[in-house]
Chains A and B, each alone.
Chain A
Amino acid sequence: DGGITQSPKYLFRKEGQNVTLSCEQNLNHDAMYWYRQDPGQGLRLIYYSQIVNDFQKGDIAEGYSVSREKKESFPLTVTSAQKNPTAFYLCASSIGYGHYGYTFGSGTRLTVV
């Protein structure tokens, strides 16, 4: 079955540590996206990539970094510079530039302890 796999589902991080969230898709989609969701809020765009080896900042990129070395993979690193990283992180992908909508992964819930 084609889809998007995010791992891990739950992640705990100590303050000051970097952590990497995985996102892999086997849909052969060109574009991939990372969103953050806080309780009672909608999704806010962190980074997106429309082709391999290229990516753009979204609305809340500070404290995050990404890479797109392979079409299938778009990992997100939450760095120690992100002041409030506890949130639900969703990865998505789309054919082309999202003209046909996005497909979402199941998310990773990150908690800073």
Chain B
Amino acid sequence: EDKVVQSPLSLVVHEGDTVTLNCSYEVTNFRSLLWYKQEKKAPTFLFMLTSSGIEKKSGRLSSILDKKELFSILNITATQTGDSAVYLCAVLNAGGTSYGKLTFGQGTILTVHP
């Protein structure tokens, strides 16, 4: 069974701090790893990572994948109160009976205080 574990489960910081969110995974046939941000309702897409060692960047957010060690990190620099959300990591299975199945971690609840 595919498994995704995120840490920490919750994090409280002040504006301007830098945070690192962790995601480790076990999947039978790895296709890609995705990060989502969930504020109130629908998760919104942040990054899709397929290759090791290639950093993806969008503004203050960046992410990288290590396929040898089976983990990914999501960095947020100069945090703002608008970054407060649940951050979800998920892995996409690309083989066998689980083809196309996206398995999520528990999420990290990030709270940014002014």
Contacts and interface: CB of A to CB of B under 8 A. Distances in A.
Interface of A: 31, 33, 35, 40-45, 48, 50, 56, 58-59, 90, 92, 94, 96-102, 104-107
B75 interface: no
Given A58-B101, A98-B100, A105 B42 contact: yes
A58 B44 CA distance: 22
A48 B105 contact: no
A95 to B, nearest CB: 11
A107 B102 contact: no
Contacts of A58: 101
Interface in B1-32: 1, 4, 6, 9, 31-32
A59 B32 CA distance: 20
Contacts of A41: 106-107
Contacts of B104: 35, 42-44
Interface residues of B, number: 28
Contacts of B107: 40-42
B56 to A, nearest CB: 13
A89 to B, nearest CB: 11
Given A98-B92, A99-B31, A99-B92, A33 B42 contact: no
A98 B102 contact: yes
B103 A45 contact: yes
A33 B4 CA distance: 18
Given A41-B107, A104-B42, A107-B41, 4 more contacts: A90-B42, A97-B94, A101-B45, A106-B42
Contacts of B53: none
Contacts of B42: 90, 104-107
22 contacts: A33-B102, A41-B107, A42-B4, A42-B6, A42-B104, A43-B90, A45-B101, A45-B102, A45-B103, A48-B101, A50-B100, A59-B1, A92-B102, A94-B100, A96-B100, A98-B102, A100-B48, A101-B48, A102-B45, A104-B42, A106-B42, A107-B42
